[in-house]
Structure 1
Amino acid sequence: MLEHTEANELASRYLAEHDARAQHRSLADRATDQSLDAAYAVQDALHRLLGERGHKIAGYKVALTSRAMQEFVGVDEPLAGAVFDHVVLSSPAAVRLNDHRHLGVEFEVAVRMGADLTADAGPHTRESVADAVGACHASFELVEDRNADYSSLNVFDLVAENAWNAAVVLADAVTEWRSVDLIDGATRLTLNGEPAGEGRTGDALGHPLEAVAFLANNLNSRGQSLRAGQFVMTGSSIVTQFPSAGDELVFTIEGLGEVSLSCH
């Protein structure tokens, strides 16, 4: 495991690269330990640095929810990252592309927690977390890949730099979420009023609550917990889009409504 000082130094380097919107490059070779646990130690240090700027964790994201993407980067499970309060937007939202180097948009069910998921109640499963869910939202996740070379992605970097989260956009909460089909419910994207993609609510891990259970167990293993009021971005059901200025995106989930984003 990385020493505390080394984790802090690496986190500072990642944060400086993000602040500068620099071309993505791997920093993994600077770490004396490149294990997944070490990468999460750097991520936790990055979270502390953002906390020192006055930002608070509002929720979390689960990345690499498809087996193909996990195999592509050499892991056998999804990855976790945090979403901070200053980048949580309400629909309809607008984003300035010039504020980013290379912004992608993903299309997800966000799950809002109504109760804590602590280690003493675990290990958590899709079934056991259901009673802790307060609501669901249609949502976008905005990801900043900084023009990364996808053919040479390093899992250490992906975890250490907070799984690339740039922002989220949330539609209104649906508290009657149990009546929504979260396996085969239709998801649809329109881009500038034209159909641009479709999927199913269960396309990420088979069910959004699988992502919640994974995230809760991941946090518990790191001495943390998913808390009431926080949300989980559960993975995209439609391929990532990289919008241009002037684009209007509307994402609809059967039973959860729609979320919209204007790009300038």
Structure 2
Amino acid sequence: MNSTKQQLAQALFEQHAARTPFSTLRRAGEVLDAAAAYDVQDELVALLRKARNADIVGYKIGLTSTAMQTMCGIDKPVFGRVLSDQVHAGGLRIDLNRYVHLGLEFEIAVKLGSDIVPDGKPLSTADIAACTEAICPALELVDDRHAQYSTLDAGSLIADNAWNAGVVLADWQPLPDEFTVRQARVFSQHPPAETGEVDYRHVLASVAWLAQELASRGLHLRAGEIVMTGSVVRTRFPVEGEVWHYEVDGLGTNGVNCA
């Protein structure tokens, strides 16, 4: 790799500041494996934290579908950091002009009540449930900056903090005792709604995967942190004037207003 990881992170930081379209590092001649890409993400997040006086408050998980993993040439999900200045309450009014190309992803957020340190051991759903303080329907804001998905690679996505541009959280609720599958609905003011399924076992398994990934980099999940566990339905790209609603049976509602 010709450029240093710090130089790549600085270039990404400047692209965000200039609101330039997303360009893969592979296209620019830089092919990053996952380990190197996470090193670049570390550097980029450090620059963002300093510029915005923000803290890391959690993580997002992306590329959770087999189709997206195949397209990006990777066999597992990826993660990015969530920063404190981009955590919003449900009902957020969004100014689309603040983003290059905003997408909405409809997910379940997990709030941790205690640290999760794998210590080299597999983590069960019961282990994660014991460390979970609360969950809620949540929207992730992703800014893909008009990326060309046909040429997207995992290293470029990882390095760019997996496109996280914030999260919108509903009221926190206790994790149900029964891990039954719940129905979710996503709709705007124009029908029909799209339905999906929320399986709490999959939600907890996503947190377990993240805990193991962080452990491989000498990190761990901490009490109070938020984990965005992946999309329940397809990503939506809102236009001005739309209002989007997200409901999960037994868990509550969330939404954003793009008026």
- In structure 2, the residue matched to 1:195 is 192
Deviation of 1:91 after TM superposition, in Å, equals: 0.8
Of the structure 1 ranges 138-147 and 187-196, higher mean CA displacement relative to structure 2 is found in: 187-196
**Number of residue equivalences:** 258
Amino acid at match of 2:5: A
CA displacement, residues 215-243 of structure 1 (integer Å, 9 cap, x when unaligned): 11111111111111111101111111111
Which structure 2 residues correspond to residues 105-254 of structure 1 after superposition, within 5 A? 105-120=104-119, 122-175=121-174, 177-179=175-177, 181=179, 184-192=181-189, 194-202=191-199, 207-254=202-249
- In structure 2, the residue matched to 1:21 is 19
CA displacement, residues 77-129 of structure 1 (integer Å, 9 cap, x when unaligned): 00011110111000111110011111010100101100011243744333322
Deviation of 1:31 after TM superposition, in Å, equals: 7.0
Is residue 2:86 matched to residue 1:87?
Answer: yes
CA displacement, residues 36-87 of structure 1 (integer Å, 9 cap, x when unaligned): 1000110111121122221111110110111111111110100011110111
Aligned partners of 1:61 and 1:235 also within 8 Å: yes
Task: Report the 3-state secondary structure (helix = DSSP H, G, I; strand = E; otherwise coil) of the residue aligned with 2:74.
Answer: coil
CA distance in 2, matches of 1:223, 1:11: 21
- In structure 2, the residue matched to 1:50 is 48
CA displacement, residues 7-45 of structure 1 (integer Å, 9 cap, x when unaligned): 111111111111221111112366766211000110111
CA distance in 1, matches of 2:156, 2:80: 12
Aligned partners of 1:110 and 1:231 also within 8 Å: yes
CA distance in 1, matches of 2:242, 2:249: 23
CA 1:225–1:263: 2 relative to 1, 3 Å: same
CA distance in 1, matches of 2:233, 2:45: 28
Amino acid at match of 1:158: L
Aligned partners of 1:106 and 1:240 also within 8 Å: yes
Aligned partners of 2:32 and 2:156 also within 8 Å: no
CA 1:221–1:243: 2 relative to 1, 3 Å: same
Amino acid at match of 1:58: V
Aligned partners of 1:188 and 1:195 also within 8 Å: no
Deviation of 1:166 after TM superposition, in Å, equals: 0.8
Aligned partners of 1:113 and 1:229 also within 8 Å: yes
CA distance in 2, matches of 1:16, 1:28: 18
Q: Which consecutive unaligned segments of at least 5 residues does structure 2 have?
A: none
CA root-mean-square deviation? 2.0
Q: Which consecutive unaligned segments of at least 5 residues does structure 1 have?
A: none
CA 1:26–1:56: 2 relative to 1, 3 Å: same
Please report the TM-score for the alignment, with normalisation by the length of structure 2: 0.93
- In structure 2, the residue matched to 1:35 is 33
Deviation of 1:180 after TM superposition, in Å, equals: 5.8
CA distance in 2, matches of 1:248, 1:221: 40
CA distance in 1, matches of 2:43, 2:122: 25
Task: Report the 3-state secondary structure (helix = DSSP H, G, I; strand = E; otherwise coil) of the residue aligned with 2:171.
Answer: coil
Deviation of 1:136 after TM superposition, in Å, equals: 0.2
Is residue 2:95 matched to residue 1:100?
Answer: no
Aligned partners of 1:180 and 1:254 also within 8 Å: no
